[in-house]
Amino acid sequence: MDFADSTAIGLACVLTLICILSYKMSWKGSKYRTFPPGPRPLPLIGNLHIMNMKKPYLTLLELSKKYGPVFSIQMGMKKAVVLAGYETVKDALINHAEEFGERARIPIFQKMDKGNGLILSNGENWKVMRRFTITTLRDFGMGKSTIEDKVIEECSFLIEHFDSFKGQPFENTMVMNASIANIIVAILLGQRYDYQDPTFMRLLSLVNENIRLLGSPMVSLYNVFPFIGFLPGSHKTILKNVEELLSFIRNTFVEHLGQLDANDKRSYIDVFLAKQKEEMSTPDTYFHNKNLLAVVRNLFSAGMETTSTTLRWGFLLMMKYPGVQKKVQEEIERVLGSAQAKYEHRKTMPYTDAVIHEIQRFSNILPMSLPHETASDVIFKGYFIPKGTLVTPLLASVLQDERHFEKPKQFYPEHFLDSEGRFLKKDAFMPFSAGRRVCAGETLARMELFVFFTSLLQKFNFCLAPGVTDLDLTPAEGFTTPPMPHMICAIARS
């Protein structure tokens, strides 16, 4: 090693030591003395040694029992705040919406969307994209009968597919993804795909793999120590998959651009491209191709994953609890007979509505929500939380809050029924998050869940595959919490 190399290494060590000491001293300053409590961190790794890296929400739930509803953890050198329980999460996301309203700048997310799009962006970009997206989704019928017709039509294709197995066992992950994805595809692209279409299947598999890998230990480590990005691992697979998805979207909107008719906008992409054309001479417009790519990918992924996973949990739970399934079907027969289920029917079907809500609560699809970040310094519950602090609203703790749900760890539809069997709204039912960052597609998701669940239980009995005596309700690993792989039998009802 020559003198220059040894000098460089020595200087790097000194600078690192200065950074660590400065960091520690800054946290000893008076304004940080009221930072939320938490487990004692180790040098460099923080609290990584106590985290369940495959299911970190389980560790956070345990820590909340010891440290209370507002506590801190340290991931590597970065401190973060966790919010637990309904009252605390609601207070932060609704009553302090501005202060807790930013999306955290997580390394893997920054690499994926680079601050563009809807879900992972901030500031004016996020405001413009969210406003445009919600308006456009409403124009294409979100929450209205026009989109419900598409939901019903897609549900009929799924019923045909289930019926084709003639009661034999099958695995339903990809077809559920395809069916729900087709509804958002109809809005985004103005078309639908056959369940066997190889391009469609490839896109779904890319999204599916990314959702799973985003919850992997390697990606969690990369987010804490981004300098390990040069190593092979799940983070590189995710970025490769994103690029393939973006390539498909690029080719699609180029086609749309060639066919664009400003007087006949048939899809979200058409509307975006028309707006882009309008603002061509506007400096600093947000209607550029990078935002289009990111928003379409955001909507495609988010519009598919959570709803299809919830429905898969629903059919699994009906197999696990046939008595609940029978009561839902009795209500369907009493209220609908053979008529087509529509979203408006939920008002006269309290038990079915309660079961769907309980499926969402129990399945706990996004236990840690998407990470937030403080937009400014804030005093919250007596603690000082500085600007730029990563914040985790622990939705699992809200959906399992024993002050609001009698049997939080069990599947218990009566959580959403009063003593006379009427539907009971629960404030702590927060699967779509809340406040400024509440899911933009909540209305569509609610409609999809009711129409699909009710229509499929109207047509089929869901039961265990031959030879299976029990079902494991332990969630699989991933960024979301899907059920473990399983086979289902859909027996046509006479």
Annotated binding residues, written as ranges, equal: 439
Annotated binding-site positions for heme: 439
CA torsion 370-406-481-451 (nearest 10°) is -90
Q: Which residues pair with 72 in a beta bridge?
A: 81
Residues 6+ apart with CB under 8 A from 494: none
- Long-range CB contacts (within 8 A, 24+) of 259-262: none
What separation in angstroms does the CA of 456 have from each of 157, 195, 413?
A: 11, 17, 19
Burial of 289 (0-12, 13-18, 19+ CB in 10 A): middle
Q: Enumerate helices (H) and strands (E) in the chain, giving the number of each.
A: 16, 9
- Cβ-contact 53, 220 below 8 angstroms: yes
Residues 6+ apart with CB under 8 A from 70: 36, 81, 82, 83, 84, 88, 380, 381, 383
Cα separation, 149 vs 77, whole angstroms? 51
Residue 42: phi, psi to the nearest 5? -90, 160
Q: CB count, 10 Å around CB of 361?
A: 24
